[in-house]
Structure 1
Amino acid sequence: MTLQTIRILYFARLREAFDLDGEVLALPPGCADVAGLLALLRARGGAWAAELAEGRVFRVAVEQDMARHDTALAAGAEVAIFPPVTGG
């Protein structure tokens, strides 16, 4: 069985905290939505657990559309994780 892969992009403080601007990630079976992806990333511990913890403010977009925790992840999807944009 081939694992489904997605591309993740990290922006702003998350890019700095993870020292990574993006990665291609193979999703394990059962990891089919944004909630599953976030749980998988948090399980890495350290900065991942801290920055993506429940209650931390960040947004997720799938294929450049704002996503919810139940948004499905298709093979090859582009997922962006970023803090909310502020400005005047």
Structure 2
Amino acid sequence: MLNVKQLPPEFYALMEDLQAVDFALVDLTLYLDTHPNDYEAIRQFNQFAKQRGLLKKQIESQFGPLQQYGNSYSGYPWNWDDGPWPWQL
């Protein structure tokens, strides 16, 4: 049986917000691949990219790193293995 670490409700709310922003960024990326001159879509993409950075920073400052290989800083002691993992949400 997996021992899944339980985190406070605000963690899950922030992760849901992050997933929504990530979805919008993927969708806008696909659109911009075929409409590279759509200024409004680029503006929206940049707004979501900024929002994603702020959410990532907030989540990581409270709950630890979201990504590995230098995309996120680690706390001390090494906290990359602190859960839950994305597939456990």
When the two structures are superposed, what TM-score results if normalisation uses the length of structure 1? 0.24
Between Structure 1 and Structure 2, the one with more strand by share is: 1
Determine which structure has the larger helix proportion and give its number: 2
Comparing both chains, which one has the higher relative contact order based on Cα–Cα distances under 8 Å and sequence gaps of 6 or more? 1
Query: Which one has the largest radius of gyration?
Result: 2
TM-score, normalising length from structure 2? Answer: 0.24
